[in-house]
Structure 1
Amino acid sequence: MTSPGSPAQARSLIIERLVGDSGEADQVIDAGRAMAERAVPLLQKGLSGELGVPVIVDLRAVEVSRVPEARSHAGDTFAMTVVGSPASSDAMTLVIDAAAIAIMVSTLFGGDPDMPTSPIERDLSPIETDVSTMVFQEVAQALNGSGRRSLDLRLPVPRAISGVEARHHVLRDGAAICIVLGISTPVDSGSITVTMPQRVVLAGRDGTASASEDDHSTSWRARFSEEVMRSTVALEATMPLARLTLGDLANLEVGQVIDFEETAQSRARLSARGQTLFVCEFGKLGQNYTVRIRHPFDAGQDFIDGLMPAGAGRA
């Protein structure tokens, strides 16, 4: 994810990490259903153009959900991708199940749409993964929209992943909306699940969205009850100590002194409920120890930074 560009966006991300950014269920479902109903004809036209034969696309369900549940409808064999936007690095998570993949591959390579396809009960081949990526591209384009209603998705979509990589891919938790699309022929049926954070779906849906901090504050007051906003959370500040090999760690003894890294003081972490919120600088004011907030925590950048020392060591 990228660092938020304003204090209002930072507050939004922090609250979402702690309690989940959610709107009224009826409002979220109505917005998602309207988006999906506009996209279905476009998607059916796009897929039929790619395949050369018509396939049936229908809207099966629109429901409130959580982002990590994006794979819950897909079974053991599926492909997925995560599409970002300026508003969120995970603006849209797309999952296609094995039945839909089999339909698309068979139809694309000249299979008879009136004959049932063989179920896929193994890891996907590169060709099946490429076909899944093509389908995801069509779905994302259809749902993206245009003008002020556009989701501004970063297209083309990333290449689909499958197998162990897809099953273990970490999805950031948060309130979401789940749109289930059906892909079918006269004899077979599969599904594509589209999962989006609720804040992405609701942003600009009424055409009155504003980037000002006052509007963001008003939106939060309307979205969260006073009881939630008054609830307290325990803050924890931690400092990175040192990088040790497993051998060094195994040889530690009682009473041994470990030095802090030179930059440890400027890399303290402020967390609440297990979620890291800010990177801080450790210090002291009078007799009291303090932390001064430097910038919001960027999980993506932190992951990259964590790889650098290891990469340098291999070089």
Structure 2
Amino acid sequence: MNTATEPRGAADKLLDNPGLTVERLPMLTMIFDRLAQSCAEGIRPYAPAVVSCFVNSISTDHVWDALDAYDGSIAAIFYSSELDARILVGLDRRCVYSLMEVMLGGDAQEAPYDEDRTFSTLEVRVAQTVLEIASEALKSAFGPVIETTFRLERVETRMDFTIMGRRNVLAVIAKILIQAMDIGGQMFVVIPQPALTPIRQKLARDLSSDGSASDPRWLKMMRDGVQKAEVRITGVLDEYEETLGAISEWKIGDVLPLKPSALTRVRFDCKSQALFWCELGQSKGVYTLKVAERVNVEEMPLAQFLKSAAVTEQA
């Protein structure tokens, strides 16, 4: 890190362009939330312990200030041709050491290793694997806003002002905490604001007021999960009412008369909810049920009772 650079004065800051306001770009919050969730899912197969990721903060700052704060970290430079910009994703030293502890089967009983030294080859490879997971997660997170790819250019173990071009350019900085077994560190994402300016209108979209906006991937997962849910279907031929006293006197061998005949339809229930009327039949030596029509819930005894009770109460 070049420490010879003089601090920026108040006049320089006043002459800066105002840039983007994170509070006015609600889609940015959604993007980084999805990034954190996808990173947790991507890292989980590599770690025996449960890994959690969540967004700590999203802010704007100058690139050189952000890089200065993360001196001694490992960072990857990704290039997006769609955004025509380079994006930096990095892991601070504590995060790298914690990931090594978790992935190698440590129990986190000892104090986290925190020595300021050169990263080993294995640590760099582990960090690069996590950063590549982050790039795929970032691609997915940007999906609802813009289809883009992030190509890995190089991995840096020393923060340099020249990594992201001009050192005084404004950037959006997201800090994502990665934790497992009460240890962890921080992932940071630095996106130059000029890369986001062309899609500013899309980032300003408010999902809470847009009923049609949705996450296609989440909807598909939800739909598939619901369709695969196993439920019990019950065929009801007749319902017999009796007092508890009479039921308590039943004994083996007693015969209970049923009203239905061979032409009576069977009702299909699921979780006490009537679904279909079916016709009883036989085929190849087994009983069969042929779906005839949907049950009109309004005609069910309970619905009629509730309706009559409501009329009586109003009267």
From the superposition, tell whether residues 49 and 20 of structure 1 become closer, same or farther in structure 2 (CA, over 3 Å): farther
From the superposition, tell whether residues 147 and 119 of structure 1 become closer, same or farther in structure 2 (CA, over 3 Å): closer
Look up the equivalent residue of 1:103 and give its one-letter code.
S
**Residue 41 of structure 2 aligns to a residue in which SS?**
helix
From the superposition, tell whether residues 25 and 40 of structure 1 become closer, same or farther in structure 2 (CA, over 3 Å): closer
Alignment of 1:241-280 (within 5 A): none
Corresponding residue number in structure 2 for 1:255: none
How far apart are residue 128 of structure 1 and its match? Answer: 0.9
How far apart are residue 59 of structure 1 and its match? Answer: 0.8
Corresponding residue number in structure 2 for 1:91: 86
Corresponding residue number in structure 2 for 1:81: 76
Alignment of 1:24-173 (within 5 A): 24-28=21-25, 30-74=26-70, 76-88=71-83, 90-145=85-140, 147=143, 149-150=145-146, 152-155=148-151, 157-163=152-158, 166-167=159-160, 169-173=162-166
From the superposition, tell whether residues 35 and 122 of structure 1 become closer, same or farther in structure 2 (CA, over 3 Å): same
From the superposition, tell whether residues 62 and 110 of structure 1 become closer, same or farther in structure 2 (CA, over 3 Å): same
From the superposition, tell whether residues 205 and 151 of structure 1 become closer, same or farther in structure 2 (CA, over 3 Å): farther
Corresponding residue number in structure 2 for 1:200: 195
User: 1:132–1:160: 8 Å Cα contact kept in structure 2?
Assistant: no
How far apart are residue 21 of structure 1 and its match? Answer: 8.6
How far apart are residue 119 of structure 1 and its match? Answer: 1.0
From the superposition, tell whether residues 202 and 49 of structure 1 become closer, same or farther in structure 2 (CA, over 3 Å): farther
Root mean square deviation, CA, Å: 2.8
Corresponding residue number in structure 1 for 2:260: none
User: 2:22–2:28: 8 Å Cα contact kept in structure 1?
Assistant: no
Distance 1:158 1:70 in 2: 20
What are the Cα deviations for residues 95-134 of structure 1, in whole angstroms up to 9, with x where unaligned?
2111000011121222224543311310111111111111
The alignment's TM-score, normalised by the length of structure 1, stands at 0.52
Alignment of 1:161-310 (within 5 A): 161-163=156-158, 166-167=159-160, 169-173=162-166, 174-204=169-199, 206-207=201-202
Unaligned runs of 5+ in 1: 1-17, 210-315
How many residues are aligned here? 187
From the superposition, tell whether residues 124 and 186 of structure 1 become closer, same or farther in structure 2 (CA, over 3 Å): same
Moved over 6 A (4+): none
User: 2:77–2:154: 8 Å Cα contact kept in structure 1?
Assistant: no
Segment drifting more, 126-135 vs 30-39: 30-39
How far apart are residue 201 of structure 1 and its match? Answer: 3.3
Distance 2:65 2:102 in 1: 29
Unaligned runs of 5+ in 2: 1-14, 205-315
How far apart are residue 79 of structure 1 and its match? Answer: 0.8
**Residue 60 of structure 1 aligns to a residue in which SS?**
strand
User: 2:76–2:153: 8 Å Cα contact kept in structure 1?
Assistant: yes
**Residue 153 of structure 1 aligns to a residue in which SS?**
coil
Distance 2:62 2:82 in 1: 18
What are the Cα deviations for residues 199-222 of structure 1, in whole angstroms up to 9, with x where unaligned?
33354464499xxxxxxxxxxxxx
Segment drifting more, 65-74 vs 122-131: 65-74
**Residue 91 of structure 2 aligns to a residue in which SS?**
strand
Look up the equivalent residue of 1:58 and give its one-letter code.
F
What are the Cα deviations for residues 233-266 of structure 1, in whole angstroms up to 9, with x where unaligned?
xxxxxxxxxxxxxxxxxxxxxxxxxxxxxxxxxx
Distance 1:208 1:194 in 2: 17
Look up the equivalent residue of 1:22 and give its one-letter code.
G
How far apart are residue 168 of structure 1 and its match? Answer: 6.0
Distance 1:208 1:170 in 2: 26
How far apart are residue 58 of structure 1 and its match? Answer: 1.5
Identity %: 16
User: 2:27–2:203: 8 Å Cα contact kept in structure 1?
Assistant: no
